[in-house]
Amino acid sequence: MNSTKNNGFKFLEFINIKEIEIKFYQPVAGSFAIVKCEGKYLLCYNVWRQQWEFPAGHREQDETPKECAMRELYEETGQVVANLEFKGLLKVKNTMNGFIKYNPVYFAVIETLQPFMGNEETTEIMLWDLNEEIGVIDEVDLKIVDYV
């Protein structure tokens, strides 16, 4: 049976806005890259958190939210996808301190997966149909599929 972890964050809402409107929401945190291939979602296994999750991570210095999503997708899964489409903002709350942040979410459909090489953070990737038993998945990540 699949189980979820919250990793200290609670899903509050998904905000449907245009990408240009991101600037009205602060603080903007790291971006998510949601990719569908063969009708299934691309997940990566994070060895640090010991769970399956969507590619995502913190923005670096002057990086745009989309550049962050593209870089994280490549670093965590080996996929190069230029046609990521902005879908909205994920609003989450830190359950320890009540701090709220906004994560841009990008989405794309691809035809085939590119080769994957494991790294210190990610040991494997998979395409998931939302039903297959995979073990532990991030609770907030699971909510995203309702909105993309």
What does the pLDDT look like over 96-141, one tens digit per residue?
Answer: 999 999 999 999 999 999 999 888 889 999 999 999 999 999 999 9
Q: Which CATH number do you get for residue 89?
A: 3.90.79.10
CA-closest candidate to residue 16, choices 83, 71, 85, 82: 85
The separation between CA 10 and the C-alpha centre of its own chain, rounded to angstroms, equals: 15
Are 108 and 35 in contact by the 8 Å Cβ rule? The answer is yes
What does the pLDDT look like over 36-79, one tens digit per residue?
Answer: 999 999 999 999 989 999 999 999 989 999 999 999 999 999 99
Query: Does residue 2 have a pLDDT over 80?
Result: no
Give the total number of structural domains in the chain. 1
Element (H, E) at 44: strand 40-46
Query: Does residue 25 have a pLDDT over 70?
Result: yes
Domain residue limits at 45: 3-144
Q: Predicted confidence band at 1 (pLDDT cuts at 50, 70, 90)?
A: low
